[in-house]
Structure 1
Amino acid sequence: MTWPLVGCLLIGALVVGWPGGRARERLRRQRWCLPPGLFAHPRRATALVVGVVTGLGLLAGGPVAAVVTAAYSGLAGRALLRRAARRRDGASRVAALDGLSALAADLRAGLPPAARAVSALSSDRIGRLTSSVWQLAERTGAPAADLVERIEADARAADRAAAKASAQAAGAQATALLLAGLPVGGIGLGIAIGADPLDVLLHTPIGAACAAGAVVLQCGGLLWAERLAQ
């Protein structure tokens, strides 16, 4: 029963460590074939992987193993989706700030900004502020370049503050992940000394209660640490 459960944990690790967009592009250049459309719907793909891991856990260790693998693979999939979303948001914000800089330079040079350039920034708060500045400049003749530069400076200052806060919270996140991994080390230590902790955890009432309590506490701790880091 141990090796199938180890396989489930390895699949969960694969969910966390699956390469991101740039890494997949490098793999494609190296002719590593990935199925087309596999990541077209990341939420569905993540749900599918979680379901497979849960099913393998059920087959390998019974209902308790299924609950444990479902919880941990679900957390891993959620973290993977959030990381991908942060990368997309970061790339979009960088593009928006670069667009603001180019727009301010055009206005300083006396060049009329293209309407498409202004509308391209209208997907978030930066875009809404820029559109409002442009409408105000058209109505009142206010110096749009100064206002656009102030929007850019404010946005970059907010990004620097967010980066500092994230760096300060990195220690708490690392500690939470380390604590979350300690039970795995304890199980490995028990196996190394000749005990069978998996049999106790998966096939006895007291072990099942301990496993369920550990999953609840660990999930709550990880979500709390994530909340503190936001």
Structure 2
Amino acid sequence: MTPAAVWQAAWAVVAVSCAGGAVVLMAPAVAQRPRAPSGREEAAARGGPAMRALVGVGAVAVVAVAGLVAPRQVALAAIVVVAGLVGWVLVRRRRQLRSAERTSARLLEACEQLTGELVAGRPPGVALEQCAAHWHPVAPVAEAFRVGADVPGAWREVARRPGAADLRLVAAAWQVSHRTGAGLASALEQVTADLRAQRATRRVVAGELASARATARLVAVLPLLALTFGAGAGGDPWTFLLTHPIGLACLGLGLAFGLGGLAWIEALARQVDRS
């Protein structure tokens, strides 16, 4: 094997090792349950991380052996797979954020409708039924009120949905009204006003973050435009990137920096949204 081939093989092994480590680190953790786990569940919880690490090491070993045989193909495949995984994670998180935003908007509409029904003199049960007819997640709350169960607890269960955390304020207002005898309509009216103000603030923050997100996406797309212009000007940058070892290294680093920048912007946006 020539020195160039040895260097390519070593570089491919490093690339696929990083890819395997990324896959292992991105594996979701096992969700913890509030109840006491059984012995079998404890054994599964202890063996889960070890099994994921073992699978990751095995995958890296297999791909490393393949990289010794066809280093260029394996390195290119590793770059494509890791970039695809990271891109899929970013798109999935963005979709989850949009879904939570839609839920937050429907939550405010439901609170406004519920408050309006109570202010108009409707009984709480009827108001909850009307609200559940327009937004089905409220149905467990209406059912809890109908059977005489814990209504604030039902509100808190609904608040576990992504984007519905503000319903904990509704649960607190309902509980205070039930224990102290204060007017439920006035309490929910104050909560709805606070939620409306928070919604307006979130819109302003989202508008400010939109420019940062757009700039990050533009910067991520600029290298692709530069390569297209280079190919149109008579050059052959794609052949260099996809066939030469240094080109593959540049391709991997470029994708890593681009996707890392997008992930960093999204992480900052999530921190701002939580605050």
For Structure 1 versus Structure 2, the TM-score category normalised by the shorter chain is 0.5 to 0.7
TM-score by length of 2: 0.55
Residue 176 of structure 1 corresponds to 216
Structure 1, unpaired ranges of 5+: 1-60
SS in 2 for 1:86: helix
Give the CA deviation at 1:142: 0.9
Aligned partner of 1:207 in structure 2 is: 247
Asked if the contact 2:115/2:192 (under 8 Å) is kept, the reply is no
Q: Which residue of the other structure, out of 225, 232, 239, is the alignment partner of 1:192?
A: 232
TM-score normalised over the length of structure 1? 0.64
Aligned counterparts of 1:149 and 1:109: Cα–Cα separation in 2: 12
1:151 to 2:162 alignment: no
Alignment-derived partner of residue 51 in structure 1: none
User: Which SS does the other structure have where 2:239 is aligned?
Assistant: helix
2:216–2:262 Cα contact (<8 Å) kept: yes
Alpha-carbon shift at residue 170 of structure 1 (Å): 1.5
Two-structure CA RMSD over aligned residues (Å): 2.5
- Taking the aligned partners of 1:62 and 1:227, their CA distance within structure 2 comes to 33
One-letter code aligned to 1:143: G
Distance 1:83 1:226, change over 3 A: closer
Q: For the structure 1 residues 174 and 94, does the alpha-carbon distance in structure 2 shift closer, same or farther, using more than 3 Å as the test?
A: closer
Greater Rg by CA: 2
Q: Which has the higher contact order (CA 8 A, sep 6+)?
A: 1
The whole-number CA distance in structure 2 between the counterparts of 1:101 and 1:178 is 39
Aligned residue number for residue 73 of structure 2 = 62
Show the counterpart of 2:201.
161
Q: How many residues align?
A: 171
1:88 paired to 2:62: no
**Structure 2 counterpart of 1:166, which letter?**
A
Instruction: Give the C-alpha shift of residue 185 in structure 1.
Output: 1.4
Alignment partner of 1:104 out of 115, 121, 140: 115
SS of residue paired to 2:166: helix
Question: Per the alignment, in what secondary structure is the counterpart of residue 62 of structure 1?
Answer: helix
* Aligned 1:21-100 pairs, distance under 5 A: 62-100=73-111
Q: What is the CA–CA distance in structure 1 between the aligned matches of 2:112 and 2:124, rounded to whole Å?
A: 12
**Distance in 1, Cα, partners of 2:263 & 2:269:** 10
Point out where structure 2 has 5 or more consecutive residues left out of the alignment: 1-71, 133-137, 143-154, 160-164, 271-275
